[in-house]
Amino acid sequence: SDYSQEPPRHPCLKINAKQPFNAEPPRSALISSYVTPVDLFYKRNHGPIPLVDDVEKYSVSIQGLMENPRELFMKDVWMLPKYNVTATLQCAGNRRTAMSKVKTVKGVGWDVSAIGNAVWGGAKLADVLELIGISKGTSTTKSGGKHIEFVSIDKCKEENGGPYKASIPLSQATNPEADVLLAYEMNGEVENVNTSDVFFSNTSSTLLVMSSESKKFTFGKVIESREQKCFKFITVILNLLHLLNNTDISMLLVISKPLNRDHGYPLRVIVPGVIGARSVKWLDAINIIAEECQGFFMQKDYKMFPPSVNWDNINWPTRRPLMDFPVQCVICSLEDVSAVKPGKLKVSGYAVAGGGRGIERVDVSVDGGKSWIETPRFQRPGVSYVADDTRSDKWAWVFFEVTVDVSQSTEIVAKAVCGFSSQRPTCNCARDLESERGTEHFMAQGSSPGW
């Protein structure tokens, strides 16, 4: 494997493995913004980061149990309506270090930050499939296709040097409400462009733009309204600005940044509400298949077993692959064992449930779980969160924050209760209602005598 072409990374990340690169931000940084900055977003890889240098030539082959196999180019994806979906991506291995204390688990050790919330920009997979003749709501194609497999460019040792892959049911892929995306942007990030770097090739419709950051030229088309349409990866928004000492009409040019290489440049799948492993990065092919993907990460990893199972008697085919992730709740304002002084203490963190179920409640206990205090919850600061409300992001995490009184040596615990309505007709989430794993323990300790 060749790790000589890895992208630059933020120095704040805690590196859990260098090759392949696996890293997460500190937990305090994680809750400092609802939308996780790209640089701080956890990076979970199984091989070297592929280098796609010619985005014009890049294509995804779509084939299998369907009528019209075809190559999908970026321009085909850019032409489709663009959606911005705020979705929390969580690795199924998040908090594996804590799980290891209970039972032997295998895989990269993660603290609590193998999770992040992003605004993913891209085309809906349902629209892409419609483009190639598979209509919305299809669960089985005429030739018996029931699953959709995503195959990537990167190679990994678990697949014996083959590509990383995963699948989801076709019914989920063709359901526009499931918000499955082929994403080419993250967090609406824009390139730095000076107006002096813009050259009109004729009066209005086409322009040539030089990015001040990358020093690369790109062709674009002026889009006259604020419509969310993309041509190449350029979105041009004309803004009529009346400058103070200049009544001339000036222009504001916005160029979307493509996905960061670590997160799947140029195109990745985003399956909201589902463990990160199914959101295949660096998409190379899409196969319509009869049975779910037989790859390693669907069949020999990311499954949940009862306590009687260990590494000697494990029988993989007896369990289904994990899809929707269970409810999760983490205190991020304190480290695992924090020594705090008695008095007022702020307890904050995140809670999230897969399958778009939302969070019904987050409770905090300062007496090891004997009594509980319901906490205020929010997504955007200052706007209180209500599960199932149309103003809430249904695929995204929720933050909680409460100030408690700590007067004695105690254990502080947070617990989330997931929302009641699943976005899926059938949900195979193994754990429900209360976040069993969603507890964090803290010892409050003090040196003052008598306490």
| Residues found near Mo ion in the complex (CB under 5 A) | 44, 91, 276-277
Of the residues 27, 82, 281, 361, which one makes contact with ligand MTE according to CB under 6 A: 281
List the beta bridge partners of residue 231.
234
Of the residues 89, 148, 362, 366, which one makes contact with ligand MTE according to CB under 6 A: 89
**Which tokens go with 23?**
């890293």
Rounded Cα distance between 7 and 270, Å, is 21
- From 71, 10, 64, 62, select the one nearest 36 (Cα to Cα): 10
Using the minimum distance from each CB to ligand MTE, give the nearer residue, 266 or 276: 276
Residues 159-178 that bind ligand MTE (CB under 6 A): 164
End-to-end CA distance of the chain: 57
42 belongs to the binding site for ligand MTE (CB under 6 A): yes
282 belongs to the binding site for ligand MTE (CB under 6 A): yes
152 belongs to the binding site for ligand MTE (CB under 6 A): yes
Of the residues 276, 321, 349, 356, which one makes contact with ligand MTE according to CB under 6 A: 276
Asked if 375 contacts 426 with a C-beta cutoff of 8 angstroms, the reply is no
- From 404, 394, 397, 355, select the one nearest 378 (Cα to Cα): 397
Q: Which does 110 bind (CB under 5 to 8 A by kind): Mo ion, ligand MTE, none?
A: none
The CB-of-279 to Mo ion minimum distance in angstroms stands at 9
The CB-of-277 to Mo ion minimum distance in angstroms stands at 4
The CB-of-181 to Mo ion minimum distance in angstroms stands at 18
Rounded Cα distance between 72 and 81, Å, is 15
Using the minimum distance from each CB to ligand MTE, give the nearer residue, 41 or 442: 41
**Which tokens go with 115?**
């999770």
45 belongs to the binding site for ligand MTE (CB under 6 A): yes
The CB-of-76 to ligand MTE minimum distance in angstroms stands at 21
Q: How many CB atoms lie within 10 A of CB 236?
A: 21
Residue 423: HSE in the Cβ half-sphere, 13 Å Cα cutoff: 25
The CB-of-278 to ligand MTE minimum distance in angstroms stands at 7
Of the residues 85, 181, 277, 289, which one makes contact with ligand MTE according to CB under 6 A: 277
Q: Which does 45 bind (CB under 5 to 8 A by kind): Mo ion, ligand MTE, none?
A: ligand MTE
**Angle at Cα 34 formed by Cα 27 and Cα 214, nearest 5°?**
95
CA dihedral 183, 185, 187, 191 (to 10 degrees): 180
- Alpha helix positions (H), 54-135: 74-79, 96-100, 125-131
95 belongs to the binding site for ligand MTE (CB under 6 A): no
Q: How many CB atoms lie within 10 A of CB 277?
A: 22
46 belongs to the binding site for ligand MTE (CB under 6 A): yes
Phi, psi of 85 (to 5 degrees): -115, 120
Phi, psi of 292 (to 5 degrees): -60, 155
The CB-of-132 to ligand MTE minimum distance in angstroms stands at 22
Using the minimum distance from each CB to ligand MTE, give the nearer residue, 281 or 357: 281
The CB-of-287 to Mo ion minimum distance in angstroms stands at 21
The CB-of-115 to Mo ion minimum distance in angstroms stands at 10
Q: Which does 265 bind (CB under 5 to 8 A by kind): ligand MTE, Mo ion, none?
A: none
